[in-house]
Amino acid sequence: MKSFVAGLFGILALSGVASAQPAEATGYIAGVAQSAFGNVTSQSFGVEGGWFYTPRLAVFVELGGMRDTAPSTIGPAAQSIASYLGIVQSQPVGYSVKQPAAFGAVGARYTLADRGRFHPYALLAVGAARVTRDVAFTVGSTDVTATLDNYGVTLGTDLAGSTTKPMLTLGGGVAWMPRGEWQFDAGYRLSRISTDPTGTSVSRLGVGIGYRF
């Protein structure tokens, strides 16, 4: 009987301790701002939300956009068009090139260690990126991009249009949880977009502010 009572009190004591502990987070949502750099340097902004399958493993969705992912081939291609325009007419010719990309991905994020308020992690995600080739030409002070056919020029798919391609992302970082449900994140991500002909690689380095629930 004494052993039964002692065991009962032990169970109650353990239950009280467990109920006094803060509940594990079941999910999180965060806003992210990053520097994006590959062939060119720009910015990336997005939002990320996840669900904790275990205390260390989270499944997440990421949505965002990179302002410019222009590959090394797009500049020379635009330059050749500008050079031709300079030959067929006498006014100054200018051009600009940019390749913004909107993306979405689903992935897994694994906490490597619990260092108190600091949680280093690694992640892997797969998704797709909508890449838009934004190239403009000016003759004098006039934008002639929409009327290039007047000069005998038709832009190919390397300089015009949009396409959606698969994207793979690898990365890691450190999440810092100073108090309560708020978390701050510093991380690096390398994304590979399967654009023609050789693909586009973009690194993203930045910070995020999130809320765990």
Q: Quick one: pLDDT at residue 22?
A: 39
Each residue of 14-72: pLDDT tens digit?
A: 333 333 333 477 999 999 999 999 999 999 999 999 999 999 999 999 999 999 999 99
CATH fold of the domain at 26-212: Porin (2.40.160)
Residues in the chain with pLDDT < 70?
A: 1-23
Q: Quick one: pLDDT at residue 4?
A: 36
Q: Quick one: pLDDT at residue 9?
A: 34
Q: Quick one: pLDDT at residue 54?
A: 94
CB 194 within 8 A of CB 166: yes
Q: DSSP string spanning the chain?
A: -HHHHHHHHHHHHHHHHHHHSPPPP-EEEEEEEEEEESSSEEEEEEEEEEEESSSSEEEEEEEEEES----TTHHHHHHHHHHHHHHHSSS-EEEEEE--EEEEEEEEEEE---BTTEEEEEEEEEEEEEEE-EEEEEETTEE-GGGGGGGT----TTTS-EEEEEEEEEEEEEEE--STTEEEEEEEEEEEE--TTT-EEEEEEEEEEEEE-
pTM for the whole structure: 0.83
| Residues with Cβ within 8 Å of residue 27, at least 6 apart in sequence | 49, 50, 51, 52, 58, 212, 213
Q: Quick one: pLDDT at residue 17?
A: 35
Q: Which residue has the tokens 């694994």?
A: 110
